[in-house]
């Protein structure tokens, strides 16, 4: 075989082995780090698994945000105007988080249907709605003000 060809073959083999290792690494890393999104309707219907990291998004129910007096714990409810999921979270909420606004919470669902959130994402400007929330509202048949479409 031509030496250049031989070298090219070795090269291809090397790249193939290296990329398989990389793909293995990717699949391994991906396994524990995929967070599925559920609209509140699915969570209440029991379609979301408990004890596993998921994301839930919807509108924050007016009057539901309550801060504890002595710690950074906060509770609120997320709704798609069809069903409502209670969320507990400890820490600082994003600036644009607010009642009657869209938000996405990621965390673990307890067996009694409360989402223990580790991260809260809110919208980033007035005209922007997280696409998942927009979809969840679309499917529930209500607009973001809770009016039936």
- Please list the residues that pair with 89 across neighbouring strands: 74, 117
Closest to other proteins by CB, 95 or 112 = 95
Q: Which two tokens stand for residue 27?
A: 């699949």
**Alpha-carbon gap, residue 47 to 44, rounded angstroms:** 8
In the bound state with other proteins, the residue whose beta carbon lies nearer, of 127 and 148, is: 127
| Shortest reach from residue 56's CB to other proteins, in Å | 11
Task: Return the C-alpha torsion angle 100, 106, 110, 114, nearest 10.
Answer: -10
CA distances to 54, 63, 79 from 85, in Å: 13, 14, 6
What's the min distance (Å) between Cβ of 41 and other proteins? 14
> C-beta of 54: minimal distance to other proteins in Å?
10
Shortest Å distance, C-beta 18 to other proteins:
6
Question: Of 52, 120, 39, 148, which is closest to residue 83 (Cα–Cα)?
Answer: 39
Helix H or strand E encompassing 13: helix 3-31
Q: Considering the complex, what minimum distance in angstroms separates the CB of residue 90 from other proteins? A: 8
Closer residue to other proteins in complex, CB, 18/45: 18
Tell me whether residue 8 or residue 112 sits nearer to other proteins (CB atom): 8
Alpha carbon distances (Å) from 17 to 14, 24, 31: 5, 11, 21
Which of 84/135 has CB closer to other proteins?
135
Q: Which residues bind other proteins (CB under 8 A)?
A: 3-4, 7, 11, 14-15, 18-19, 22, 25-26, 28-30, 32-37, 53, 55, 67-72, 91-93, 95-96, 104, 106, 121, 124-128, 130-132, 135
């Amino acid at each position: 075989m031509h030496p250049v060809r031989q070298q090219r073959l070795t090269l291809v083999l090397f790249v193939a082995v290296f990329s398989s290792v990389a793909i293995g690494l990717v699949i391994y890393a991906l396994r524990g780090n995929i967070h599925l999104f559920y609209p509140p309707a699915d969570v209440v219907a029991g379609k979301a698994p408990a004890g596993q990291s998921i994301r839930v998004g919807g509108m924050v129910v007016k009057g539901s945000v309550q801060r504890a007096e002595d710690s950074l714990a906060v509770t609120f409810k997320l709704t798609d105007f069809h069903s409502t999921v209670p969320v507990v979270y400890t820490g600082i909420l994003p600036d644009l988080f607010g009642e009657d606004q869209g938000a996405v919470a990621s965390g673990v669902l307890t067996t009694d249907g409360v989402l223990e959130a580790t991260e809260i994402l809110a919208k980033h400007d007035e005209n922007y709605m997280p696409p998942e929330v927009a979809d969840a509202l679309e499917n529930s048949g209500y607009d973001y003000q809770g009016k039936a479409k």
